[in-house]
Structure 1
Amino acid sequence: MRFSLGVLLVLYLCSCGYAQKVRYDNYKILNLNIQSLEQSKFIEKLKGLSSFSFLKNIERNHDLLISPRELKKLAPMLKTANITNKILIDNIQEIIDEEEVKTKAEGDSFGWDRYHSYESIQKFIDGIIEDHKDVVTPFIIGKSYEGRDIRGIKISYKPGNRGIFLESNIHAREWITSATCTFFINELLNSKNPEIRNIAENVDWYIIPVFNVDGFIHSHEKDRMWRKTRQPTTNPKCPGTDPNRNFDTHWSSDEGSSGNPCDETFRGAAPFSEPECKALSDYVRSIKDNIGVYLAYHSYGQYILSPYGHSKTEFPENYDDMLQIAKASYDAILDQGYGTKYRYGSTASVLYVASGSSVDYAYNELDIKIGYTFEFRDQGRYGFVLPSINILPNCQETVAAMIALVKESKSLGYL
């Protein structure tokens, strides 16, 4: 059965130069629950159709962004396949519109009651640099495809500290990541909490608040649901590469990435085809001897994921240590009292196979032996359009997780 272009038709029009902002009026977020091998095979066939956008793609649990027209076609097929499904969001555009109103009402203040534009985040970083010249050093790892600086800051209170590298917003639409990252920066520099002062002053922090600069700006200005970079591909209708599948570690694994430019997990034409990823690799390689831990902030799902991503059956030699550190972070999040439950373990065994990721690259190729991908709130109710009321709780949970992570990493000799 053939399906119309649906979701990606809108994206194609935008990528071909149309000025209007992509809208998702009456688009649904549909959750599919898979209970059998036959149902899994049906889902695999569904993934090959360009009319659907899978937002969450786990073995038995899938979230689908779908237009009303496509849902009308799909519904009887789901019924025939006996696949349990429910609508999580009836009209995602309503949430996007509410979010946009709050973002545009920024004024002169920077806070964590709403999401911020790239320009606002850069002003915040400029202020941090100006106000803390004694401990904050700005750096630029390189330029994005569209020519923007990829900026970071180093926070160092004294010589001799081991370092943690933290990248955020590698996927454009995951706005909760840069919101949480900026909060964490503010805490490292301004909090009086003795536990935060301890991790601020006894660890060197290298932090990139918005890594996928072009994609992030595109998600604000053109398409809220944009994930990838913005460099053209061999298919003019499908620009962009998944930067977290573009690193040179198990790069060509078909199970953990896609060779189709129209797929959300497109790995690119070659390892480091994306200038952003090459710049990150070069920069971290230049400081790797000082880095004990590599962290990446993502959303959504509530996971603390360690290497490996490329295999469900292979595990790092220090996997027990990774689990111990992740467990400490998990406990710290629970102790915040919001009832937010994370799962932890290797990416492939707990979530899905994902090859060519930054965390796996740091572990496999740069010999940074502790690394985690934090997949923030929520578990799918709102997903990438997480309401801003969740920002502060997520930030508080993450700071607690960072305190526990540093303490446990130190006890095991990694910092």
Structure 2
Amino acid sequence: MLPIVGLTVGFISTLIGLTTSAMYDGHSMLRVTPQTKRQEDHLRDLGKHQGVSFIGGDPLVGDHSHVIASPQVLDFVLESLKKFETEHLLTNPDVGRSIRSQKFRTRMNGDISWDAYYDLDSINQYLTVQSVGHPDLVTLTTIGKSFEGRDLLLFKINKGSTTKPIIWIDSNIHAREWISSAVGLYLIDQLLNSPDIEIQAYLDDFNFHVLPMANPDGFVFSHLTDRFWRKTRSNTSATAINGCRGVDPNRNFDAYWLENDGGSKDPCDLYFAGDAVFTEFECIAIAQYLDSIRANLIAYISLHSWGQNVLIPTGRDSTQIPEYNE
């Protein structure tokens, strides 16, 4: 059996939608590029201010980051960037307007398109319809519950033998990364419905276990309350004390937890890794299921958004895995 190869795949999201309140009217998006450690540290401090948030990752020397500033703090942010001589560019003067200009739909008949975003009920209905329509290939099951009690639906595609090598795919572990679950659903559609012979040949060699919605609570919250919500919606002891909610589930697994600045201990931070490993119901369910299929699991693919990157192990340092050249 080949060693498990893990991939994190990122996409730039060009479709944004929202149904209700946190519309970010008048908020500006700036691209900032620190060239020194002093500028990087300043940007990290700037991100702690009320009305300032980073999208797509923490600032790093030499890399572009994007910050959203409310109208109330925009002048302060610009003056602060000027003071530290940090390269910056206004890329969007009204984030809320961009949000409202994009397509969002609700469908309860299981029929979705690939030019819009859908809410959780529409996504789950699509999975149900596809499973009913392909009873010889698909098993739709629940591997656990989220903090707020929502099902973690796993879509298993098995053609013939159930003992073939398994490719795991998950998406939307970060709530606001809607494009990731859209891609996950598209992969399901292609595997089941594409006439392409090469695509269908994959089903002869592999079984696919797809978790399109790894963070359903956060996803719903990003639709109904805050478009840029990233974490889960749990209340841990630390978050309750600080009045903040949620953990970054991608940083809550028992894998080099908090090593090399791989997360935050601050409950109000976007990258809060939790009070300890496996505080999040969603992470526990995923880990337990992966352990149950360990013998046949050969690939782990996690879909994310914002950057056009393919990330392979190991993420904690520059060590190359034996399969790196493959």
How would you bin the TM-score normalised by the shorter chain?
0.7 to 0.9
1:163-202 Cα distance to aligned partner (Å, 9 max, x none): 1011110001101011111111011011110110111332
Structure-2 residue corresponding to 1:84: 87
Q: How far 1:294 sits from its partner (Å)?
A: 0.4
> What is the distance in 2 between the residues matched to 1:93 and 1:316?
42
Q: Does 1:211 align with 2:217?
A: no
The worse-fitting range, judged by mean Cα deviation, of 165-174 and 76-85 is: 76-85
> What is the distance in 1 between the residues matched to 2:194 and 2:204?
12
Matched residue type, 1:308? T
Structure-1 residue corresponding to 2:197: 194
Out of 67, 70, 75, which is 2:70 matched to? 67
Structure-to-structure mapping, 1:125-274, within 5 angstroms? 125-159=127-161, 160-233=163-236, 234-236=238-240, 237-253=243-259, 255-274=261-280
- 1:166 and 1:296 in contact (8 A); partners too: yes
Structure-to-structure mapping, 1:223-372, within 5 angstroms? 223-233=226-236, 234-236=238-240, 237-253=243-259, 255-311=261-317, 313=318, 315-318=319-322, 321-324=323-326
- Which consecutive aligned stretches of 4+ in structure 1 deviate over 4 angstroms post-superposition? 105-108
Distance 1:76 1:260, change over 3 A: same
Q: How far 1:235 sits from its partner (Å)?
A: 3.4
Structure 1: where are the runs of 5+ without partners?
A: 1-19, 325-415
Higher relative contact order (CA 8 A, sep 6+): 2
> What is the distance in 1 between the residues matched to 2:175 and 2:120?
11
Quick check: which one's helix share is greater? 1
Q: How far 1:144 sits from its partner (Å)?
A: 0.3
1:13-45 Cα distance to aligned partner (Å, 9 max, x none): xxxxxxx72231111111101222332232233
Structure-2 residue corresponding to 1:363: none
- 1:246 and 1:271 in contact (8 A); partners too: yes
The worse-fitting range, judged by mean Cα deviation, of 177-186 and 104-113 is: 104-113
Matched residue type, 1:54? F
* Percent of aligned pairs with the same amino acid: 34
- 2:52 and 2:68 in contact (8 A); partners too: yes
> What is the distance in 1 between the residues matched to 2:179 and 2:199?
21
Structure-1 residue corresponding to 2:53: 53
Distance 1:50 1:268, change over 3 A: farther
Distance 1:293 1:134, change over 3 A: same
Aligned-partner SS, 2:104: helix
Q: Does 1:21 align with 2:21?
A: yes
Aligned-partner SS, 1:235: helix
1:122-146 Cα distance to aligned partner (Å, 9 max, x none): 1100011100000101121100000
Structure-2 residue corresponding to 1:402: none
Distance 1:88 1:261, change over 3 A: same
Q: Does 1:117 align with 2:119?
A: yes
Q: How far 1:221 sits from its partner (Å)?
A: 1.4
> What is the distance in 2 between the residues matched to 1:24 and 1:47?
17
Structure-2 residue corresponding to 1:390: none
Distance 1:222 1:192, change over 3 A: same
> What is the distance in 2 between the residues matched to 1:23 and 1:58?
24
Matched residue type, 1:175? W
